[in-house]
């Protein structure tokens, strides 16, 4: 898969407590509407007027992103779906974890953002997550500080009718921490240094990331004759490629990563953050909005998907049941119910429901996809005692029904990715091509990136494999979700070391 020649750059170089909340079924029975433009689809229970306002704000922000970066890279594709909840309690019911005000998720079967539209910084959260979607769509691998720093930088934009203002500091308390001359002290009279909590450490990271991006893009405006580092930033992002160490920093900036961090702290302590104003051309989509009520069964189905994606299968099943009350034969609701049975380990019941669906909805893309995932769960549970012939036959079976479904739905990204994944045990160009197409259409889906990285590793495409494996590690912040990617990356580096030693 061809890698873009330049990364996405600025300036034409080219949170919350989660409680028990109310029940998911109760939220689904609210009055839900869909408001849509060419680039965004907002599903909300906050009313037509507020939904339309949110769509317009998003379209303006998209125009900002296109104006101050290298163009439309990463901003194209199907409309982004945004689930906007009308209050914190409803949002918390569907949130995947605590201390967030919104999140973005891209999977093989689509991408969406979810937020508490009533929160003080709700729109900032949504803008932040949209930048992540754009960066992922550019196809370039970025260091974490640039990913988060650019998102923090752009979310703070002030949008005027004909111009935008950039450079406003992030409201994070970590920025004040950076500006201090010494460490924070516990006010007990003992003068002991206070250990930072995990949340404070995270806040400090985001503040430092914003400050680094601001320093490298606007820092030269703080004084006459200041060093403009935007071209150096372009060189750095082009040459970084996910490799650890100071080589890329030295080559681009003439300093180590630690020396750059010290420069950034000095910049913050001066507390002189320049603001710039740039012209903005709004687009026609602002006037072309469509709004309609979302039937209760459809609302229940979409909200069930959010629950299932967060691993909350019991709550998801209650929502599928609501959809089935309106239509007992609703295929997607039945497929979702079978998937939840499979995820909970009720393999026999899941298999029976999948078999029933196969007789009446053969070739349905969601049925083929979730049936394949059910198979992978079976294989994982049998891994300790499974025999090679049964594993191979199961993969061949999955490959065949996915191929049949793809013949009916050739553009379905989930089918493409799952079809390619069946070649992991027997790599072939056909599987590699399918996964390349899937990742091209869903660049932030970490499952597909991991599959593609492994197949590229097997095929000897080491530089491309590194790109996709590192993307998985970075997205999961090195946590448990990246264990397989780390293992594959170690294998890749061993192969590189072996080749260099010959």
Residue bearing the bigger pLDDT, 482 or 274: 274
Tell me the torsion sign for CA atoms 112, 113, 118, 123. negative
Specify the higher pLDDT residue, 115 or 183.
Answer: 115
Q: Which of 136, 135, 131 is nearest to 107 (CA)?
A: 136
Residue 284 tokens, joined: 């026609």
Q: Which CATH number fits domain 24-185+197-284: 1.10.390, 3.30.70, 1.10.760, 1.25.40?
A: 1.10.390
CA 302 to chain centre: 19
Give the model's pLDDT for residue 194. 55
Q: Between the ranges 94-103, 107-116, 448-457, where is the mean pLDDT highest?
A: 448-457
Q: What is the pLDDT of residues 37-88, one digit of tens each?
A: 988 999 999 988 899 999 988 988 998 888 777 655 555 567 889 999 998 8
Which residues lie closer than 8 Å to 285 by C-beta, 6 or more apart? 37, 38, 39, 59
In this chain, the answer to whether the domains covering 24-185+197-284 and 295-410 adopt an identical fold is no
| Residue for token pair 């609703």 | 330
77 touches 38 (CB < 8 A): no
In angstroms, rounded to a whole number, what is the distance separating the alpha carbons of residues 204 and 17? 19
Residue ranges per structural domain of the chain: 24-185+197-284, 295-410, 426-502
DSSP 185: B
For residue 185, is pLDDT > 60?
no
Structure tokens at 227: 């060093």
Q: Using one digit for the tens of pLDDT, what is the confidence trace for 160-172? A: 888 889 999 998 8
Q: Among the residues of 111-229, which ranges form H helices?
A: 122-137, 144-155, 174-179, 198-218
Distance CA 469, CA 487 (A): 10
| pLDDT value at residue 15 | 29
Q: Would you call 383 exposed, middle or buried from its count of C-beta atoms within 10 A (0-12, 13-18, 19+)?
A: exposed
Q: Is pLDDT of 181 > 60?
A: no
- According to DSSP, the residues that pair with 84 across neighbouring strands are 44, 115
In tens, the pLDDT along 205-217 reads: 999 999 999 999 9
Per the document, the length of the chain is: 502
- The span from the CA of 423 to the CA of 83, in Å, is 35
Specify the CATH number for 295-410; select among 1.20.1270.30, 1.10.260.40, 1.25.40.10, 3.40.50.300. Answer: 1.25.40.10
User: pTM for the complete prediction?
Assistant: 0.78
Of 274, 260, 196, 195, the residue nearest 232 (C-alpha): 260
pLDDT of residue 3: 44
- Contact residues for 209 (Cβ-Cβ < 8 A; gap 6+): 144, 145, 146, 147, 148, 149, 152
CA 499 to chain centre: 34
pLDDT given for residue 63 in this prediction: 87
pLDDT at 297 over 60: yes
Helix (H) or strand (E) holding 465: helix 462-475
Q: Among 78, 96, 80, which Cα is nearest to 35's?
A: 80
Q: Which CATH architecture has domain 426-502?
A: Alpha Horseshoe (1.25)
Burial code (b: 16+ CB inside 10 Å, e: under 16) for 126-151 equals bbbbbbbbbbbbbbbbbbebbbbbbb
> Which H or E run contains 81?
strand 80-85
Separation in Å, CA 440 to CA 26, 146, 249, 435: 38, 21, 29, 8
Backbone angles phi, psi at 292, to 5 degrees: -155, 155
Q: Is the pLDDT of residue 412 over 90?
A: no
Question: Percent of the chain beyond pLDDT 70?
Answer: 83
| DSSP-derived pairing of the beta strands 40-44 and 80-85 | parallel
Q: Residue 13: its pLDDT value, please?
A: 36
Instruction: Give me the chain's average pLDDT, please.
Output: 82
pLDDT on residue 72: 53
């Amino acid at each position: 898969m061809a890698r873009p020649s330049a990364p996405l750059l600025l300036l034409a170089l080219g949170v919350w407590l989660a409680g028990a909340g109310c029940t998911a079924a109760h939220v689904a029975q609210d009055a839900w509407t869909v408001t849509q433009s060419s680039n965004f689809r907002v599903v909300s229970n906050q009313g037509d007027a507020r939904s339309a306002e949110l769509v317009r704000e998003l379209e303006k922000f998209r125009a900002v992103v296109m104006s101050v970066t290298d163009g439309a890279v990463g901003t194209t594709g199907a409309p982004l779906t945004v689930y906007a909840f009308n209050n914190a309690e409803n949002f918390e019911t569907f949130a995947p974890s605590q201390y967030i005000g919104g999140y973005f998720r891209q999977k093989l079967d689509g991408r969406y953002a979810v937020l508490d539209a009533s929160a003080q910084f709700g729109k900032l959260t949504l803008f932040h997550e949209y930048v992540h979607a754009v960066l992922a769509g550019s196809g370039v691998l970025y260091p974490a500080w640039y990913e988060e720093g650019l998102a923090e930088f752009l979310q703070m934009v002030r949008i005027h009718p004909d111009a935008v203002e950039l450079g406003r500091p992030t409201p994070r308390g970590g920025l004040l921490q950076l500006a201090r001359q010494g460490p924070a002290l516990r006010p007990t009279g003992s003068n002991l240094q206070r250990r930072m909590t995990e949340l404070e450490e995270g806040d400090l990271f985001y503040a430092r990331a914003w400050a680094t991006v601001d320093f490298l893009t606007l820092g030269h405006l703080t004084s006459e004759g200041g060093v403009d580092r935007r071209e150096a930033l372009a060189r750095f992002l082009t040459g970084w490629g996910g490799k650890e160490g100071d080589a890329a920093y030295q080559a681009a900036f003439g300093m180590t990563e630690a020396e750059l961090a010290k420069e950034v702290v000095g910049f913050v302590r001066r507390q002189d953050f320049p603001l710039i104003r740039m012209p903005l051309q709004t687009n026609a989509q602002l006037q072309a909005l469509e709004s309609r009520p979302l039937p209760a069964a459809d609302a229940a189905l979409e909200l069930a998907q959010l629950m299932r994606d967060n691993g909350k299968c019991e709550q998801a099943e209650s929502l599928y049941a609501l959809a089935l009350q309106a239509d007992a034969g609703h295929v997607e609701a039945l497929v979702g119910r079978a998937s939840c049975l499979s995820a909970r380990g009720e393999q026999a019941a899941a298999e029976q429901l999948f078999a029933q669906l196969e007789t009446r909805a053969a070739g349905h893309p969601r049925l083929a996809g979730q049936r394949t995932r059910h198979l992978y769960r079976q294989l994982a549970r049998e891994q300790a005692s499974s025999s090679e012939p049964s594993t191979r036959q199961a993969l061949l079976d999955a490959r065949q029904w996915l191929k049949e479904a793809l013949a009916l739905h050739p553009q379905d990204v989930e089918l493409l990715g799952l079809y390619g994944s069946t070649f992991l045990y027997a790599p072939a160009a056909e599987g590699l091509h399918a996964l390349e197409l899937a990742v091209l259409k869903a660049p932030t889906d970490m499952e597909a990136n991991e599959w593609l990285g492994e197949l590229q590793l097997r095929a000897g495409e080491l530089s491309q494999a590194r790109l996709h494996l590192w993307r998985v590690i970075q997205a999961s912040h090195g946590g448990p979700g990246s264990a397989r990617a780390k293992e594959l990356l170690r294998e890749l580096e061993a192969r590189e070391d072996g080749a260099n030693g010959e």
